[in-house]
Amino acid sequence: MNVELIQYTPDPEKVVAAAARLCYSADPVPELMEKLTDEKIAGFVRKLNSMGHLSPFEHVSFQFSIDGVSRALSHQLVRHRIASYSQRSQRYVKEAGFEFVTPPSIRRNPEALVRFEKVMQTLQEEYQELLKVAPAEDARYVLPNACTTSLMATFNARSLLNFFEHRTCMRAQWEIRQMAEKMLQLVQEVAPNLFAEAGPTCVTQGVCHEGAMSCGRIKTLKNRTKE
């Protein structure tokens, strides 16, 4: 898996702070931008986060290049609808000799790994045979969820906070959680105040919404707090 932050709104925290300040000022945005010091910017962003006033966060966006992830992951990713996606097409790009993602649980099990790799090899061979007698858009029907893909994804900061809340949770599927953690690390490097409170609710709010399906992490965090 390779995840890169390829582009983002310049001075994202300053833009968010100016958008928030505009609501309570008669000054035009350029003047507001000039008056904002680093200290004021950080203060505004922290205050917005604490108040849950996140609409100004929608003015900044972050664009990611994502490679080497499975189609199983991409099917989950597009459930986050307030974002823009472009994905390599299996209709126009032939997947002969396709690479695939092997889940850790299968890697750890020698018997399961042999079976998994055998199935992948069979599918690769059958796909290549189908390409000889059928168009790629139809041959792709035999390709597995494990087949790797490449995507470009663009989120605004508010949508990213929602994404991180759900996908860095320990209940999230392992592959998309790994990708979300990489994305979070990247945006925290360029906008630390915007994403200072990003993460699962057990960490950021001290609550878990998973009910009976909770991973139990919230109890550990609460015990640490008491200690």
| Binding residue positions | 55, 76-81, 87-91, 140, 156-158, 162, 167
Burial class (CB in 10 A: 0-12, 13-18, 19+), 94: middle
The annotation places the binding site for FAD at 55, 79-81, 87, 156-158, 162
Q: Which of 46, 108, 167, 224 is catalytic?
A: 167
Ranges of H-type helices in the chain? 12-22, 29-35, 38-51, 71-77, 104-107, 110-133, 136-139, 157-167, 174-190, 201-204, 217-226
Is residue 108 among the annotated active site residues? no
Annotated binding residues for dUMP? 76-79, 87-91, 140, 167
Residue indicated by tokens 């909770």: 214
Rounded to whole angstroms, how far apart are CA atoms 183 and 83?
14
Please state, in angstroms and rounded to a whole number, the distance separating the CA atoms of residues 166 and 209.
10
Which residue numbers are catalytic?
167
